[in-house]
């Protein structure tokens, strides 16, 4: 955008510098004084940035989906796009989970891991929310309550219904509502642009805080030396295969676009996802850049991306598989092939159910573990490295959504500008 060019140094470079300086500042500050003494002077800036992004998510998602669905015109187009979107999400998430499963079985990072390192997990429930309950809860009983709680799936559901029926009332009402929603949407996009300007500072504060917290915890650093370090490498390696090979190939051969140019255009959204560990926080940037930089239509971006930010989590599914099997290995539990397939299946469901917020994937791990009878305390084994795993998996979650928008836009005959 013109406003971005005026600045000189591109925003993604500014964010990268923010990340780099944050790492240095976190380490240096810990050397000078303990984490407790300084974090409150830094953390607030990251909190403001994150809250600012979350502030716009609900109005953005509601108006953009309602407009997008209304813009599809007829139910056949809606059904076609929704069908392709869900198919793409399930297929890529299943591939990601399988990559995780394969790598962790080859490297076996958990074999011989010391169980002494397990941290106490205060309150993990077995997470036995039934599948039926999950489906039922998509239909909001009170849309304002769902909005207030930030529950995206019910909000998406209501917005789809609203957009669908917006086209089925008197034309003068359709025109009024479209005008109103377009106006709100445009204003929210302007606010997004304003908040993105703060990203380098917000990201700096978030990273300084995270690095400081870890650097102040010698136990966590020590544990990285052994099997936990290899576990992190397996997670990163799997994510790298999904994000560096599988998804780019899909963009290249199904979306017929240059994957590297696409990544470079989406870099602000990806870096925001990486540093905030929240697909929800990266969503406004993802929607904006998919449209303005990649040329995806509003109709597709505003349907595919919000839905993706809550149900399409390639990185999370991969993480769930690697972690569940790592825990089984650490406890010396042999899993049959059927149990491993069960893990892939529940990892898919856990990834769909996980919210786009930090650590959601780790909480959902309880579902995967209980599905095959693995000890829930195993989660304590990986707590120390949760941040290190959440950052890259959120980045891949958001990248997967953005690839989805590109290939679906291409399949609908849109001219992209990647």
If binding means CB under 6 A, how many residues of this protein chain bind ligand ASP?
16
Stretch that binds ligand ASP, among 19-27, 241-249, 329-337, 355-363 (CB under 6 A): 355-363
Contact status: 313 vs ligand ASP (CB under 6 A): yes
275-306 burial, b for 16+ CB within 10 Å, e for fewer?
bbbbbbbbbbbbbbbbbbbbbbbbbbbbbbbb
Q: What is the dihedral of CA 251, 257, 263, 266, to 10 degrees?
A: -100
Q: Map the footprint of ligand ASP across residues 279-298, applying CB under 6 A.
A: 279
The least CB distance from residue 351 to ligand ASP, in Å, is 7
**Which residue lies nearest ligand ASP, judged by its C-beta?**
361
Contact status: 356 vs ligand ASP (CB under 6 A): yes
Residue position matching structure tokens 């810990």: 30
- CA–CA gap between residue 297 and residue 405 (Å, rounded): 9
Of 296, 390, 392, 405, the one binding ligand ASP (CB under 6 A) is: 390
Contact status: 100 vs ligand ASP (CB under 6 A): no
Of 26, 46, 361, 380, the one binding ligand ASP (CB under 6 A) is: 361
Considering only the C-alpha atoms of the chain, give the largest distance between any 2 of them, rounded to a whole number of Å.
Answer: 69
- CA–CA gap between residue 215 and residue 63 (Å, rounded): 42
- CA–CA gap between residue 312 and residue 187 (Å, rounded): 27
Of 359, 376, 377, 383, the one binding ligand ASP (CB under 6 A) is: 359
CB of 346 closer than 8 Å to CB of 134: no
The least CB distance from residue 358 to ligand ASP, in Å, is 5
CB nearer ligand ASP, residue 246 or residue 389:
389
The least CB distance from residue 91 to ligand ASP, in Å, is 19
Residue 157 sits at the vertex; the CA angle it makes with 151 and 161, to the nearest 5 degrees, is: 145
Q: 334 exposed, middle or buried (CB, 10 Å; 0-12, 13-18, 19+)?
A: exposed
Contact status: 270 vs ligand ASP (CB under 6 A): no
Of 207, 232, 270, 357, the one binding ligand ASP (CB under 6 A) is: 357
User: In the complex, which residues of this chain contact ligand ASP (CB under 6 A)?
Assistant: 277-279, 313, 316, 354, 356-361, 390, 393-394, 397
């Amino acid at each position: 955008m013109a406003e971005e060019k005026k600045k000189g140094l591109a925003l993604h470079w500014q964010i990268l510098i923010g990340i780099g300086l944050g790492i240095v500042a976190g380490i240096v500050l810990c050397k000078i004084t303990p984490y407790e003494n300084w974090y409150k002077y830094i953390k607030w800036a990251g909190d403001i940035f994150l809250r600012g992004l979350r502030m716009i998510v609900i109005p953005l998602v509601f108006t953009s989906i309602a407009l997008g669905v209304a813009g599809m015109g007829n139910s056949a187009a809606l059904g076609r796009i929704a069908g392709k979107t869900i198919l793409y999400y399930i297929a890529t998430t299943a591939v990601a989970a399988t990559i995780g499963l394969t790598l962790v079985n080859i490297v076996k990072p958990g074999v011989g891991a010391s169980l002494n390192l397990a941290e106490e997990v205060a309150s993990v429930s077995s997470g036995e929310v039934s599948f039926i309950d999950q489906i039922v809860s998509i239909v909001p009983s009170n849309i304002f309550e769902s909005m207030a709680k930030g529950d995206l799936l019910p909000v998406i559901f209501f917005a789809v219904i609203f957009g669908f029926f917006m086209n089925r009332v008197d034309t003068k009402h359709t025109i009024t509502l479209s005008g109103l929603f377009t106006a709100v949407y445009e204003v929210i996009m302007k606010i997004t642009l304003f908040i993105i300007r703060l990203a380098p500072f917000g990201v700096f504060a978030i990273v300084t805080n995270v690095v400081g917290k870890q650097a102040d915890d010698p136990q966590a650093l020590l544990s990285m030396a052994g099997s936990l370090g290899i576990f992190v490498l397996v997670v990163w390696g799997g994510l790298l295969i999904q994000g560096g090979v599988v998804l780019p190939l899909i963009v290249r051969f199904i979306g017929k676009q240059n994957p590297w140019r696409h990544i470079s255009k989406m870099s602000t959204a990806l870096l925001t996802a990486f540093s905030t560990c929240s697909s929800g926080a990266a969503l406004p940037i993802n929607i904006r850049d998919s449209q303005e930089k990649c040329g995806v239509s509003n109709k597709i971006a505003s349907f595919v991306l919000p839905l993706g930010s809550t149900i399409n989590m390639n990185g999370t599914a991969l993480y769930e598989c690697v972690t569940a099997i790592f825990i089984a290995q650490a406890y010396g539990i042999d899993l049959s092939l059927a149990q491993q397939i069960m893990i892939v299946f529940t990892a898919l469901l856990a990834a769909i159910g996980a919210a786009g917020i930090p650590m959601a994937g780790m909480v959902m791990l309880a579902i995967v573990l209980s599905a095959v009878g693995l000890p829930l305390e195993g989660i304590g084994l990986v707590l120390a490295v949760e941040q290190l795993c959440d950052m890259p998996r959120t980045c891949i979650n958001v990248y997967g959504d953005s690839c989805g928008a590109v290939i679906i836009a291409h399949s609908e005959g849109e001219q992209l500008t990647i």
